[in-house]
Amino acid sequence: MTANKTHDPALKSVLPYDADTDFPIQNLPFGVAHLSDGRNAICTRIGDWVVDLSVLEAGGVLDGTLLSGRQVFAQSELNAFMALGPEARREARTVLSSVLGDREETSSEQSALIDRAKIAVGDVTMRLPAEIPGYTDFYSSMHHAMNVGEIIRGKGNELMPNWTRLPVGYDGRASSVVVSGTEFHRPMGQSRPSPDADPVFGVCRRLDFEVEMGFFIGAGSAWGEPIHVGQATEHVFGLVVLNDWSARDIQAWEYQPLGPFLAKSFCTSISPWVVTLEALAPFSADRMPQDPEPFPYLKSDQATAYDIWLDVFLAPANGTETRIATTNYKWMYWTLEQQLAHHTSNGCNVRPGDLMGSGTISGPEKQNRGSLLELSWGGREPIALEGGESRTFIEDGDTVRIAGYCQGDGYRIGFGDVSGTVLPARV
């Protein structure tokens, strides 16, 4: 996927925005906003403006395109648009870039149409962008896997034998995926206080975040037909920032032999704006070296990484926010193309709106670690916060916020934040 005129740093919009916005006209993400009239509307965002795409669609701007007459933007979620595949999405991006661009020949009718479609971002509430049929979470960061393996099994025994052979993953719960800003209660579950003690049922004591990216499936696949790694991006609609909250003490007791269950299924938070692969095209990066060489079904010269920075902030209740980590999606070992190819290699089908989590993203240095399990090294090294407090794991009232962005030449492509606040357990 190559850059085109929609990425031109010189492009400006008829809707004004600050130079450091996450949402310049080069971005054009898609999301669902709850409006003052009670509707959930498919929108894009430019600066501090949300643009109701159903208004533009009704005004005829998509006439003559692959989207003409389909009324996909009159829906209350993105699934119908996602299902149309990459060509429809690329055409929509080209049209929106032109319509919302700052051009001398903009007609008075078009200006009036944009005025009807624009809404101040502070006047809407963001919803989940799609109905999510299924959710899969991977475990694909070498740095994260090495750190966690050393904490749990000791140095020299970090990776399981399969880790460098396939993208390890598990099926999560789509029902508990929530949009940024949603509060949730600390989970309850079984844990074992020490290796020689009996298990107990009670409040999670080692609650953690996981810095991830998530990708949404656009065009689905037929049951029984694997997606070739070289065609995988044709089935990816776009990316969001994802926080896969984790109950570490519950997980340690329950995960063998079948893997994560209640320790993961209570809450997963995502940012509301889906940034398309087209917007990310200028930010492709070389993927990490893979040794041993992947099997042929996972090998492709097209598989790339993306240079997406992720900053993690933690704020106690009524306290000052502290940035506690910075990591980057380009440090993933397995790429999204390889993850999707492996996911479908057994004939498993995917559907529009399916969500795939990258797995925790960690980098080479301590400040690049993507979870408190790693940052506090299993709870043994507390993390200092502004105001004098410290953390080994998340406490009640804490808010964790993750901000993702790509830095371009004179502009920035952002995803917005994914945040969540932890409430006391319901005991």
* Radius of gyration in angstroms for the set of CA atoms belonging to the chain, rounded to a whole number: 22
78, 108, 242, 357 from 237: Cα distances, Å? 10, 33, 15, 14
Contact 42/75 with Cβ under 8 angstroms?
yes
CA-wise closest residue to 118 among 13, 18, 196, 219:
13
Contact 127/179 with Cβ under 8 angstroms?
yes
Residues 6+ apart with CB under 8 A from 60: none
Tokens of 296: 């042929």
144 is catalytic: yes
CA-wise closest residue to 73 among 26, 33, 107:
33
Main-chain dihedrals φ then ψ at residue 74, nearest 5 degrees: -90, 0
- Establish how many alpha carbons lie within 13 A of residue 350's alpha carbon, considering only the half-sphere containing its beta carbon: 31
β-bridge mates for residue 323, sequence order: 313
22, 235, 245, 271, 315 from 415: Cα distances, Å? 7, 20, 19, 7, 20
Beta strand 135-138 with 355-357: parallel, antiparallel or unpaired? Answer: parallel
Contact 397/234 with Cβ under 8 angstroms?
no
Tokens of 20: 């450091």
Main-chain dihedrals φ then ψ at residue 83, nearest 5 degrees: -65, -20
Tokens of 365: 């240095």
In sequence order, what E strands does 236-376 have?
236-243, 246-247, 268-270, 275-276, 284-285, 305-306, 309-315, 322-328, 355-357
Which of 7, 34, 143, 144 is catalytic? The answer is 144
Question: Residues with catalytic annotation?
Answer: 144
